[in-house]
Amino acid sequence: MKPKLAVWKFASCDGCQLNVLNLEDELLALAGAVDIAYFLEASSATVDGPYDLSLVEGSITTPGDAERIQEVRRVSNAVVTIGACATAGGIQALRNFGDVREFSEVVYASPDYIATLDTSTPIAAHIAVDFELRGCPIDKGQLLEVVSAFLAQRRPRVRAHSVCIECKRRGTVCVMVAHGTPCLGPVTHAGCGALCPSFDRGCYGCFGPMETPDTAALSVRLQELGHTDRDLVRVYRTFNAAAEPFQIASEAHEANAES
């Protein structure tokens, strides 16, 4: 019997699960190798669990979703989170630093209609997760590697070093050293293939913190390049704002900016 794959969505933009459908050259082969048993964005047919592998997109932001993720864990042999929302809370975790009631009033004239939690939290804050794939969005090559690895019951080959290594590997000249362009590459997890520097811009941290990020050292350099504490709060506070190393860094600069 073919292994059963499920794809679940929580608060997100759908971009990471879209990258499953973006596997144009491999999609029909993948559908031949696994039973895509639950994937609402692609199919109205659903097969009941248990599932061998569940891919989870999105973060937990409502009371209902906090319950639903428990059910996903119960019916899944392995759970892999895909993307910055599921792994670090996503851009919607910016609410963690603000007042969600006030946020709701800004967007909706009748906020009472809206059921939402005060925070956006990653999946691992709620259930045991077997592997976290990073990126905003995830890289589809890495996704294929992770799915293949779980089907073969081996460890995924996903490196946790910085974007800097990827620049060196592709031969991209360092934008910070050569042009003084502020870049988060030294503290950011690899996986995108160092896209931004190859487009003459600094990395802006889509993949979240690398394994041993030295944000303090990077901040010093970014300040030399003209960033204020207020700029640095924004720099660390984007799609992986609630990932611990980035949260600590942004809160430190926030305290400086206010003092």
Partner 1 sequence: MKRTLRVDALARVEGEGAMYVRLDGDEVADVQLRIYEPPRFFEAFLRGRAFTEVPDITARICGICPVAYQTSSVRAMEDACGIAIDDGPIRALRRLLYCGEWLESHALHVHMLHAPDFLGYDSAIAMAADHREVVERGLLIKKAGNTLMEVVGGRAVHPVNVRVGGFYRAPTRAELRPAAELLERARSAALETVRFTAGLPFPDVELDHELVALAVDGEYPIDRGRIVSSAGVDIGVGEFDAVFEEHPVKHSNALHARVRERGSYLTGPLARFNLAFGALSPAAREAALEAGVGPVCRNPFQSIVVRAVEILYACEEALRLIAEYEPPDPPAIAIEPRRGAGCGASEAPRGMCWHRYEIDDDGTILAARIVPPTSQNQLAIEQDLRRVVARHAALDDDALRARCEQAIRNHDPCISCATHFLTLDVDRT
Note the residues at the interface with partner 1 (CB under 8 A).
9-19, 21-22, 24-25, 27-28, 31, 36, 39-45, 61-62, 65, 90-92, 94-95, 98, 100, 102-104, 106-110, 113-114, 116, 120, 136-137, 192, 195-196, 198-201, 204, 206, 231, 234, 238-239
Q: d(Cα 142, Cα 163) in Å, to the nearest integer?
A: 15
First-to-last alpha carbon distance for the chain, in angstroms, is: 63
Beta-bridge mates of residue 236: none
Q: d(Cα 246, Cα 106) in Å, to the nearest integer?
A: 26
CB of 126 to partner 1, least distance (A): 15
Q: Are 6 and 39 in contact (CB under 8 A)?
A: yes
- Give the residue with the Cβ less far from partner 1, 114 or 151: 114
Q: Are 186 and 218 in contact (CB under 8 A)?
A: yes
Q: Are 249 and 217 in contact (CB under 8 A)?
A: no
- Give the residue with the Cβ less far from partner 1, 90 or 213: 90
- Give the residue with the Cβ less far from partner 1, 114 or 130: 114
Three-class DSSP category at 221: helix
CB of 77 to partner 1, least distance (A): 22
- Give the residue with the Cβ less far from partner 1, 17 or 81: 17
Residues 6+ away with beta carbon under 8 Å from 99: none
Phi, psi of 17 (to 5 degrees): -70, -25
- Give the residue with the Cβ less far from partner 1, 39 or 51: 39
CB of 259 to partner 1, least distance (A): 18
- Give the residue with the Cβ less far from partner 1, 77 or 198: 198
Token duo for residue 170? 């592709």
CB of 45 to partner 1, least distance (A): 3
CB of 254 to partner 1, least distance (A): 11
CB of 140 to partner 1, least distance (A): 9
